[in-house]
Amino acid sequence: MHVNSALPDDDVTKLMNKTGESSIKDAISKAVYYYLNAKTN
């Protein structure tokens, strides 16, 4: 699946730091996966 979204650079940087990922794609993927799992548990 391909998703486009506009996020402020500052938010992306914070997300990358929080998830420990070095790429935007991986940081967003990890955050979404975490969110979906937290909501279903």
- The pLDDT score that the predictor gives to residue 23 is 95
- The predicted model scores a pTM of 0.78
Q: List the one residue out of 25, 19, 22 whose CA is nearest residue 1.
A: 25
The contacts of residue 40 (CB under 8 Å, 6+ apart) are: none
Positive or negative, the CA dihedral 14, 21, 5, 41 is negative
1-41 residue pLDDT tens? 788 889 999 999 999 999 999 999 999 999 999 999 997 66
Are the C-beta atoms of residues 24 and 11 closer than 8 Å to each other? no
